Amino acid sequence: MSYKGWSFIAVLLFGIGLALGLATPPSIAALMSENIAFLEKLSRILTPFSVFTVIFIFIKNASALVLSFVFSPILCLAPILSLTANGWLLAFISSTVAQEKSLGFVLAGLLPHGIFELPALIIGQAAALSFGTMAILALFRKRRSLLLPSLRQNLRYLLLALGLLLPAAIIETYITPLLIT
């Protein structure tokens, strides 16, 4: 399958996560109160306009993509879960915040860095799906000669995705706080 096909599958999985997030009842937020408390503590450490925050956000996002790529040969579970969970979380939190604040507030908080971060997620996870599938095929169908070229091609896409995460982290740290205050 072409990389374009894997990108379509990645977008589809992310879209499924978005739909699930929008369909999740708001009462679930009460069950997530412990996680929300943890995020509030983390937000005190990760202050806006700090290089430390940029580095933390970049490393967190980059390590998630790299780990998903590395573990993708295990039935492609890591990229599938990452795409659907990220879509679910984005939709669920956005709809909850939009009800409390406004849709404009949500868009101001997401769009500036999301222009880079969402394509990075899709590109990186499409590469993970492609590589994971090829690794599985190489194992079961004895197509090992295709594994190294697939790894090289998908590492290029992964590096592109990682490159997009840096401006996303910078914008999230320095511009987004200005737009949501």
Cα 23 from Cα 163, distance rounded (Å): 33
Residue 58 belongs to what domain range?
3-179
Mean pLDDT of 133-154: 90
Q: What values do phi and psi take at 75, rounded to 5?
A: 55, 20
Q: Are 72 and 78 in contact (CB under 8 A)?
A: yes
Beta-carbon contacts of residue 122 (< 8 Å; ≥ 6 apart): 7, 10, 11, 14, 83
Cα 105 from Cα 50, distance rounded (Å): 22
Sign, Cα dihedral of 36, 121, 164, 66: positive
Report CA-CA distances (Å) from 60 to 12, 34, 53, 66. Answer: 24, 20, 10, 10
Q: Tens digit of pLDDT for each residue in 54-65?
A: 999 999 999 999
Number of domains making up the chain: 1
What predicted TM-score, i.e. pTM, was given to this entire model? Answer: 0.92
Mean pLDDT of 159-170: 98
Q: Tens digit of pLDDT for each residue in 40-83?
A: 677 777 889 999 999 999 999 999 999 999 999 999 999 999 99
pLDDT bucket at 142, cuts 50 / 70 / 90: confident
Q: Tell me what pLDDT residue 35 has.
A: 67
